[in-house]
Amino acid sequence: MSVSFGTVLKDWRQQRRISQLDLGLSANVSSRHISFLETGRSKPSRDMVMRLCDELEVPRQARNQFMSSAGLAPAYKSRDLSESDMVPVKQAVDWMLERHAPFPALAMDRHWNVTALNTTAELLLVGMGVSEGSSLLNVLSENEAVQNAIVNLDEVVAHTLARLRTESAYLGGDEILDAAIERLQQLEVADAHRHLDVLPAFIPARYNLNGREFSFFSTFTQFGTAEDIALSEMKIEMMFPADEQTRALLEALG
């Protein structure tokens, strides 16, 4: 059974905690028109659907649901990196991963499935069974070898949960992310830093690999102006040494 445009609009508006009045003001229409759209008394144009999606910050994949519920053709496609018009993107991803060596870096999709790794990341993660195609969510929540290798597992789990909750909320809820949240909550313990008056600049992830401890902090990169679904959801994680010992170990590997 198809869901009406009004229901989809109301659900997203409530998820974003925006009133009909505020949405109307930001979209430059009356709150009455928003009400009519939600009750089905008015039918939106393609331009109106796109405008409302912009104001509600609806992800690209969910915008297609808006379009379909309004009886309109989907606006977005999900392309594979092997397709011809994605060649510049693949080249950009490869360039970023390669240039980040000797530090580890990897690319992943919206569900944290690894789509590419640089050589350093492969060297560090292969022993834990992590490779292209692996789900980092499953690895962290189910792989005991990985859990045992993370020295500060409690801190890593706490920060991963915070990120997953934010990502799921932005997507309007996601079954895979939400399931991962439930699994990781079983590993969650009290935040060891809550007693501190001033939190540290960053909390690194620390790994014990073959008797050597590596300490990393990460940056996440996403493509701007992305209109393709897969591209808009791709994340590139670049890991940096959090101490001189880790830097020296990585440079020796390189």
Q: Which residues pair with 235 in a beta bridge?
A: 108
Task: Report yes or no on whether pTM surpasses 0.85.
Answer: yes
What topology does CATH give the domain 5-69? 434 Repressor (Amino-terminal Domain) (1.10.260)
- How far from 2 is each of 8, 31, 45, 50, 171, CA to CA, in Å? 10, 25, 19, 20, 20
- 26 vs 199, residue with greater confidence: 26
Question: With the C-alpha atoms ordered 133, 137, 139, 140, is the resulting torsion angle positive or negative?
Answer: positive
Residue 71 φ/ψ region, left for φ over 0, alpha for ψ in the -120 to 50 degree band, beta for the rest: left
* DSSP summary character for residue 243: S
Report the candidate in 216, 235, 74, 78 with the shortest Cα–Cα distance to residue 167: 235
Average pLDDT over residues 173-191: 88
Could you count the other beta carbons within 10 Å of the beta carbon of residue 167? 18
Indicate the SS3 state at residue 10: helix
Report the candidate in 66, 68, 91, 72 with the shortest Cα–Cα distance to residue 81: 91
Residue 239 φ/ψ region, left for φ over 0, alpha for ψ in the -120 to 50 degree band, beta for the rest: beta
What pLDDT, on the 0 to 100 scale, is given for residue 112?
96
Q: How confident is the model at residue 253 (pLDDT cuts 50, 70, 90)?
A: confident
Phi first, then psi, for residue 55 (nearest 5°) are -70, -30
What pLDDT, on the 0 to 100 scale, is given for residue 147?
92
The residue assigned the tokens 């399931």 is 179
What topology does CATH give the domain 84-253? Beta-Lactamase (3.30.450)
Residues of the chain with CATH 3.30.450.180: 84-253
Indicate the SS3 state at residue 56: helix
Residues of the chain with CATH 1.10.260.40: 5-69
What pLDDT, on the 0 to 100 scale, is given for residue 76?
95
What pLDDT, on the 0 to 100 scale, is given for residue 208?
93
Element containing residue 235 per DSSP (H, E): strand 235-241
Mean of pLDDT over the chain: 92
